[in-house]
């Protein structure tokens, strides 16, 4: 059967996964009466809850005697490592662009990578039925983007489709017929995307996606570059430097058939398959015939920009809510994650029971923490820090700078510019984006953006949309003022009492509920001033046998501020930690004992 390999790339929320749903439906991958979840490719719980794609996944459809392998990719810049690897597997890409928003930072990032690899993209303008669609302008913006990314003349001559992924139609003209469904897209893929290039020689394949299957063990997905592979065949694994990683026999070969994966008797060059049977082979390794000696060159992956410490939980409540608490289990889990996720980097720190985890951004790291806590892990994590570098030529200190794109109502643009300049952001572009909104583009240091998302939504009454993308390493921009409030700390261990919380309300808003377990050194509220204050949240009401009218009214508490994981990570300071367990998220000081804390502060000041 003829083959085509295709990736769908776009910014977050531009409709990639919904488009794949319709392609599967209209190609006959589902039975008429088969019940299928919406966004069928988003398979894990976190993806379903957040409505975002986190892991790249492959599927396949058959159209006019040709099998089209489709890879759905994530849209957040934090998960860009997934997309960078996928581009080795495919020969063409559909660049999906929202008809109102136009090309956004992540579109720019992924398209730049795709053009560099030499792919000839198809541009699909999605959501043309939006009332604020500006189709012609968006097409011009896409062309300008391609030109700015040094596309070749052949790549600039891209075909364009218009349509609505949700309503299941695409057309060659913006006002074209909607009756043909997705047929124009399928036909254009067959016409425009080249057949996979097949090299001569024995079996060779580069690993692209790694997963653990409960029945088959480690499974690696990739595209076969040359030769073919059968079950029970001997295969060797070569590392990036040509060293032998392991030799194994293939226990099963699975190919994508619709949303199912079915065992096949032979994997042929050009096809995307999954192999089972290896124990050590991982992504970016070359899987090949024992006669092969040279590995396939893997695409370089952009380095991580944010790092955090993952520390064994040593609070008084450690081990009461989770069952995976020891440093060995946490270490094994982190290294296992780093095997399949090449954008993550794990290092053991000099302190015992602590690991440095570096990634692309807060979202990527918070998704890892959330996944671990759902698996029963308990751990403490520090505030995200940026990964600094030294310029090899001048020895100057460099820090990561991001391109920040903010769409906001015109009335709120002043406060956004002011807050971004406080965070050392530099305004490089300001233009109207229709509907009384403006688009602001800044170059700002990554460390200044940590925790800005929630503040931005407060300042703009929830109307602003912020997108970020790594821009470059530039000279250090100087100190940035962080959080101005101190914290309220518990001075005792026990359960918080409503009466005590009610009396402390003048000191600042609380972050705990009555009845919550607390311990000395745990953060229970936000102080209205800039210093930390120790308070007693266990103090009950002194009872007497005298009853007075109006004295014993029920205590009415102001609802506490609920800290989500992302908000907690961005809110804490360098001397504080977030304690994460399967049931709760608590904030605490890194040093719980007040005397030790004061000693540490004094030694810091004298140093």
Known binding-site residues for GTP equal 13-18, 126-129
Phi, psi angle pair for 71, to nearest 5°: -115, 120
* Range in 44-53, 140-149, 462-471 the model is least confident about: 44-53
Domain ranges of the chain: 2-192, 204-288, 390-475, 487-606
Q: Where residue 393 falls among pLDDT bands split at 50, 70, 90?
A: confident
Residue 35: the pLDDT is 47
Write out the two tokens for 233. 């065949």
Crossing angle of helices 413-422 and 452-459, rounded to 10°:
150
CA–CA separation, 153 and 160 (whole Å): 16
**Taking a C-beta distance cutoff of 8 angstroms, is the pair 196, 269 a contact?**
yes
Tell me the per-residue pLDDT of 207-261, one tens digit each, with 9 for 90 and over.
888 877 778 888 888 888 888 899 999 999 888 888 888 898 999 998 888 777 8
Q: Where residue 70 falls among pLDDT bands split at 50, 70, 90?
A: confident
CA–CA separation, 505 and 561 (whole Å): 12
Choose which CATH entry (2.40.50.250, 3.40.190.10, 2.102.10.10, 1.10.10.10) describes domain 487-606: 2.40.50.250
Query: Architecture of domain 390-475 in CATH?
Result: 2-Layer Sandwich (3.30)
* Range in 339-348, 551-560, 577-586 the model is least confident about: 551-560
Tell me the per-residue pLDDT of 355-392, one tens digit each, with 9 for 90 and over.
999 888 788 888 889 989 989 999 999 988 888 888 88
| For residue 523, pLDDT beyond 90 | yes
Nearest to 282 by CA among 339, 337, 217, 213: 339
Residue 549: the pLDDT is 54
Tell me the per-residue pLDDT of 321-350, one tens digit each, with 9 for 90 and over.
888 888 889 989 898 888 777 778 888 888
> What number is the average pLDDT over the span 3-11?
86
Residue 47: the pLDDT is 63
pTM as predicted = 0.80
Residue 517: the pLDDT is 92
Nearest to 91 by CA among 118, 113, 128, 109: 118
Residue 46: the pLDDT is 67
> What number is the average pLDDT over the span 397-424?
89
CA–CA separation, 85 and 222 (whole Å): 10
Phi, psi angle pair for 566, to nearest 5°: -60, -40
Residue 547: the pLDDT is 64
Residue 33: the pLDDT is 45
Q: Where residue 131 falls among pLDDT bands split at 50, 70, 90?
A: confident
Q: Percent of the chain having pLDDT more than 70?
A: 92
Residue 270: the pLDDT is 86
Give Rg (Cα) of the chain.
27
How open is the CA angle 569-351-391, to the nearest 5 degrees? 70
- Of 177 and 48, the structure prediction assigns the larger pLDDT to 177
**Taking a C-beta distance cutoff of 8 angstroms, is the pair 306, 384 a contact?**
yes
Average pLDDT, rounded, for the chain: 84
Choose which CATH entry (3.40.50.620, 3.30.460.10, 3.30.530.20, 3.40.50.300) describes domain 2-192: 3.40.50.300
> What number is the average pLDDT over the span 516-521?
91
How open is the CA angle 115-116-117, to the nearest 5 degrees? 90
Q: Who's near 214: CB < 8 A, 6+ residues apart?
A: none
- Of 121 and 302, the structure prediction assigns the larger pLDDT to 121
**Taking a C-beta distance cutoff of 8 angstroms, is the pair 352, 295 a contact?**
no
Residue 389: the pLDDT is 85
Residue 71: the pLDDT is 84
Yes or no: domain 204-288 corresponds to CATH 3.90.380.10: no
| For residue 578, pLDDT beyond 90 | yes
Displacement of CA 50 from its chain's centroid (Å): 11
Known binding-site residues equal 13-18, 126-129
């Amino acid at each position: 059967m003829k083959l085509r390999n295709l990736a769908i790339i776009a910014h977050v929320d531009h409709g990639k996964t919904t488009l794949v749903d319709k392609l599967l439906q209209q190609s006959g991958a589902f039975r008429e009466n088969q019940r299928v979840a919406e966004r069928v490719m988003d398979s894990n719980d976190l993806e379903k809850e957040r409505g975002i794609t986190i892991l790249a996944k492959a599927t396949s459809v058959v159209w006019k005697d040709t099998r089209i392998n489709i890879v759905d990719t994530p849209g957040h810049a934090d998960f860009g490592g997934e997309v960078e690897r996928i581009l080795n597997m495919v020969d063409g890409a559909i660049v999906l662009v929202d008809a109102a928003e136009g090309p956004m930072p992540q579109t720019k990032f992924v398209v730049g990578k795709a053009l560099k690899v030499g792919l000839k993209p198809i541009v699909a303008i999605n959501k043309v039925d939006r009332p604020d669609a500006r189709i012609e302008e968006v097409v011009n913006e896409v062309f300008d983007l391609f030109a700015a990314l040094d596309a070749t003349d052949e790549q600039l001559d891209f075909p364009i489709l218009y349509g609505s992924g949700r309503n299941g139609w695409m057309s060659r003209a913006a006002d074209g017929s909607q009756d043909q469904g997705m047929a124009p897209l399928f036909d254009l893929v067959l016409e425009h995307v080249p057949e996979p290039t097949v090299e001569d020689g024995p079996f060779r394949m580069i690993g692209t996606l790694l997963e653990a299957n409960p029945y088959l063990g480690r499974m690696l997905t990739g595209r076969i570059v040359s030769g073919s592979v059968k079950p029970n065949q001997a295969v060797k694994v070569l590392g990036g430097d040509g060293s032998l990683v392991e030799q194994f026999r293939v226990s099963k070969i699975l190919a994508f058939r619709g949303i199912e994966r079915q065992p096949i008797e032979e994997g042929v060059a050009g096809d995307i398959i999954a192999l089972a049977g290896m124990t050590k082979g991982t992504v970016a390794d070359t899987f090949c015939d024992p006669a092969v000696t040279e590995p396939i060159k893997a695409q370089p992956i952009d380095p991580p920009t944010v790092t955090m410490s993952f520390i064994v939980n040593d609070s008084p409540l450690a081990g009461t809510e989770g069952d995976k608490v020891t440093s060995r289990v946490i270490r094994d889990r982190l290294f296992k994650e780093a095997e399949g996720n090449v954008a993550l980097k794990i290092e053991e720190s000099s302190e015992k029971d602590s690991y440095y985890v570096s990634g692309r951004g807060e979202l990527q790291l918070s998704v890892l923490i959330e996944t671990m806590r759902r698996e029963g892990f308990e751990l403490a994590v520090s505030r995200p820090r940026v990964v600094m570098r030294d310029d090899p030529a001048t020895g100057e200190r460099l820090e990561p700078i991001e391109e920040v794109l903010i769409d906001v109502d015109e009335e709120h643009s002043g406060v956004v510019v002011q807050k971004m300049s406080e965070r050392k952001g530099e305004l490089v572009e300001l233009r109207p984006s229709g509907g009384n909104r403006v688009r602001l583009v800044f170059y700002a240091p990554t460390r200044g953006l940590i925790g800005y998302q929630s503040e931005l939504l407060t300042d703009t009454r929830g109307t602003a949309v912020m997108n970020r993308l790594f821009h470059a390493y530039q000279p250090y921009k100087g100190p940035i003022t962080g959080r101005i409030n101190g914290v309220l700390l518990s001075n005792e261990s026990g359960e918080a009492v409503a009466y005590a919380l009610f009396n402390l309300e003048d000191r600042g808003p609380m972050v705990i509920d009555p009845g919550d377990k607390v311990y000395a050194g745990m953060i229970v509220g936000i102080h209205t001033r800039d210093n930390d204050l120790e308070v007693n949240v266990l103090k009950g009401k002194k009872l007497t046998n005298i009853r007075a009218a109006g004295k014993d009214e029920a205590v009415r508490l102001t609802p506490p501020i609920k800290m989500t994981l992302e908000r907690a990570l961005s809110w804490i300071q360098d001397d504080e930690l977030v304690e994460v367990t399967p049931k709760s998220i608590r904030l605490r000081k890194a040093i719980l004992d007040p005397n030790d804390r004061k000693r540490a502060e004094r030694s810091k000041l004298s140093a």
